[in-house]
Amino acid sequence: MAPAKKRNVSSKANAKKIKIDFEGIVERVLKSRKHANDVFDVLEFLQSEKEKDVICAVDACCKLFCTLLKRKDLFIGKLPGEDEAIKGEHSPDEKYKIFMRHRYNNCVEILLEHLHHETHEVKESALCCLMKFAAEQGLHPLEDLDWSEYFSFPRELIQAVVHNILSQSLDNSLLISRFQEFLEMDDIRYYVMSFIRDNVATVMNKSKGAVLPVYQSNVFTLMLNINMPSQETELTNFMVKQETKHEDWKAAKLHDHKRAFERMWLGFLKYKLPNSMYKKILVVLHDSILPHMSKPTLMIDFLTAAYDVGGAISLLALNGLFVLIHQHNLDYPDFYKKLYNLLEPSVFHVKYRARFFHLANLFLSSSHLPVYLVAAFAKRLARLALTAPPTALLIVLPFIYNLIRRHPSCRVLIHKPSSEDELLEDPYVMEEVDPALCHALESSLWEIKTLQKHYHPDVAKAAMLINTPMTEQEDDISEVLEITSYELMERDLKPTESKSFPLEFETAAHLLEGRGEVLGRHFCLA
Partner 1 sequence: MGKAPKKKNLADKVRKAKAATEIKNNPFEVKINRKKFDVLGRKSKHDVGLPGVSRSKAIIKRKETLLKEYKQKNKSNKFIDRRLGEYDAKMAPEDKILQRFAIERQRAHGKRDVYNLNEEEELTHYGQSLAEIEKFNDTVGSDDESEEKGLLSAELTASHFGGGGGLLRKKTSGGYQEDEQGGQKIKSRQELIEELIQKSKQEKRERQVQKEEAQELTEKLDQDWKSIQALMVKKTPKAENVDKPEEKAKPEEYDMMVRELGFEMKAQPSEKMKSPEELAKEEKEKLQKLEADRLRRMMGDEGGDGVQSQVHMSADDLNDGFVLDKDDKKTLAYQDGKWNIEEETEDDKEEEGESEEEEGSEAEGENEEDDDDEDDVEEEEEEGSGEDEDGHSDLESEQESENEENDEEEEASSSRQQQQQQTLNREELKARQEAAKAELPYTFAAPESYEDLKDLLHGHTPDNQRLIVARTQKCNHPSLAAGNKLKLQKLVGFLMEYMGELATRSPPELGTIDKLIPELYALCQMFPEAAGKSMQSILGDAAHSMEEAVEVKGHAAFPTLDMLIYLKVTALLFPTSDFRHPVTTPALLFISLTLTKCLVRSLQDLTSGLVLCCLAVEYVSLSKRFLPELINFLSGTLHLAVQDKASAGCMVVPPFRLSGKYSDLLVLSNSESCSSWRKENLPLSATQQLELKSDLNKDHYRLNCLSTCLDLVKRCCLLYKDLTSFTHIFQPIRTLLSKHLSSQMLPSPLQELHSEILEAISSASVTHTRLVFEKKKPIPLKLFTPKIVEVLDYGKKRGSTREEREKERLKHKYKKEFKGALREIRKDSRFLAREKLSEVMNRDAERKRKVKELLGSLATQEGEWKALKRKKRK
Min CB(273)–partner 1 separation in Å:
19
Q: Which is nearer to partner 1, 248 or 517 (CB)?
A: 517
Min CB(215)–partner 1 separation in Å:
24
Q: Does 210 help bind partner 1 (rule: CB under 8 A)?
A: no
Q: Does 329 help bind partner 1 (rule: CB under 8 A)?
A: no
Query: What is the footprint of partner 1 within residues 380-419 (CB under 8 A)?
Result: 383, 385-390, 413-418
Query: What is the footprint of partner 1 within residues 6-35 (CB under 8 A)?
Result: none
Q: Does 483 help bind partner 1 (rule: CB under 8 A)?
A: no
Q: Does 147 help bind partner 1 (rule: CB under 8 A)?
A: no
Q: Which is nearer to partner 1, 290 or 394 (CB)?
A: 394
Q: Does 183 help bind partner 1 (rule: CB under 8 A)?
A: no
> How far does Cα 290 stand from its chain's mean position?
14
Min CB(313)–partner 1 separation in Å:
15
Q: Which is nearer to partner 1, 35 or 449 (CB)?
A: 449
Least Cα distance to 280 among 313, 236, 232 occurs for: 313
- Residue 192's alpha-carbon distances to 161, 166, 266, in angstroms, are 9, 11, 15
Binding residue (CB under 8 A) for partner 1 from 469, 478, 479, 482: 469
Q: Does 2 help bind partner 1 (rule: CB under 8 A)?
A: no
Least Cα distance to 257 among 244, 242, 276, 238 occurs for: 238
Q: Which is nearer to partner 1, 368 or 510 (CB)?
A: 510
Amino acid identity, residue 20? I
Q: Which is nearer to partner 1, 49 or 431 (CB)?
A: 431
Q: Which is nearer to partner 1, 92 or 502 (CB)?
A: 502
> How far does Cα 177 stand from its chain's mean position?
12
Q: Does 116 help bind partner 1 (rule: CB under 8 A)?
A: no
User: What are the b/e assignments for 463-475, b being 16+ CB within 10 Å?
Assistant: bebbeeebeeeeb
Q: Does 482 help bind partner 1 (rule: CB under 8 A)?
A: no
Count residues near partner 1 (CB under 8 A). Answer: 75
Distance from C-alpha of 456 to C-alpha of 31, rounded to nearest angstrom:
81
Of the ranges 37-45, 76-84, 346-354, 401-409, which one interacts with partner 1 (CB under 8 A)?
A: 346-354
Binding residue (CB under 8 A) for partner 1 from 329, 367, 419, 455: 455
Answer for the pair 404, 441: CB distance below 8 angstroms, yes or no: no
Contacts of 85 (CB under 8 A, 6+ apart): 94, 95, 98, 99
Per-residue DSSP letter, 506? S
Give the x-and-dash track for 495-514 against partner 1 (CB under 8 A). x---xxxxxxx-xxxxxxxx
Binding residue (CB under 8 A) for partner 1 from 445, 462, 480, 481: 445
Min CB(275)–partner 1 separation in Å:
13
Q: DSSP of 71-91, one letter per residue?
A: HT-S--SSPPPHHHHHHS---
Q: DSSP of 284-318, one letter per residue?
A: HIIIIIGGG-S-GGGGHHHHHHHHHH-HHHHHHHH
Query: What is the footprint of partner 1 within residues 418-437 (CB under 8 A)?
Result: 418, 421-426
Contacts of 109 (CB under 8 A, 6+ apart): none
Q: Does 295 help bind partner 1 (rule: CB under 8 A)?
A: no
Distance from C-alpha of 329 to C-alpha of 12, rounded to nearest angstrom:
68
Binding residue (CB under 8 A) for partner 1 from 32, 329, 367, 468: 468
CA-based end-to-end distance of the chain: 73
Answer for the pair 449, 463: CB distance below 8 angstroms, yes or no: yes
Binding residue (CB under 8 A) for partner 1 from 239, 466, 477, 480: 466
